[in-house]
Amino acid sequence: MNEGKGKVNRTRPHQVIVRMNDSEFEDFKEKIKTSGISQQSYLLKSIKSGKISSSEEISELKGISGDFDIFIRQVRGLASNVNQMTRLAHVNRDIPEEAELKRISAILMRYWQEGERIWQSIRSSIGQ
């Protein structure tokens, strides 16, 4: 019998209370159910292996995301230009001059390098 009234022999004597709204609590219950482990095991596993990004990391990722948006718009514009040139060449049976092809190749190389820079930033951020 436990004669210490209120004192329980536990290997984990600390307790944390977390407040959630209904939506958060439903998400929480669903994740626990999907995991197939107890609530305590789920939380302890999340603490040990979960990653919470710092505000600096979030800021950096937002910057990378903005760079990537610009890059995607540029690539879409370039793809549209290439499609227009292809249609025009097909209709007119006119092949662009070598200088024009070199200019397009240089633009493509610049976009490729920018994409590579963004990709390296993403890889670097993920690896932290």
Q: Is the pLDDT of residue 86 over 80?
A: no
At 26-81, the pLDDT tens digits run 999 999 999 999 999 999 998 888 777 778 877 887 888 788 888 888 888 887 88
Helices (H), 1-128: 22-35, 39-49, 55-92, 98-126
Q: Are 57 and 128 in contact (CB under 8 A)?
A: yes
Residue 66: both structure tokens together: 């903005």
Q: Is the pLDDT of residue 91 over 60?
A: yes
Same domain, 45 and 78: no
Average pLDDT over residues 94-103: 78
- CA 120-123-125 angle, to 5 degrees, is 110
Same domain, 67 and 24: no
- For 77, how many CA atoms within 13 A lie in the half-sphere containing its CB? 9
Same domain, 85 and 117: yes
Question: pLDDT at position 126, please?
Answer: 63
At 11-20, the pLDDT tens digits run 888 899 999 9
Buried b or exposed e, range 43-78, using 16+ CB within 10 angstroms:
beeeeeeeeeeeeeeeebeeebeebbeebeeeeeee
CA–CA separation, 70 vs 64, rounded Å? 10
Host domain of residue 39:
6-50
Same domain, 59 and 122: yes
Phi, psi of 17 (to 5 degrees): -105, 130
Same domain, 67 and 40: no
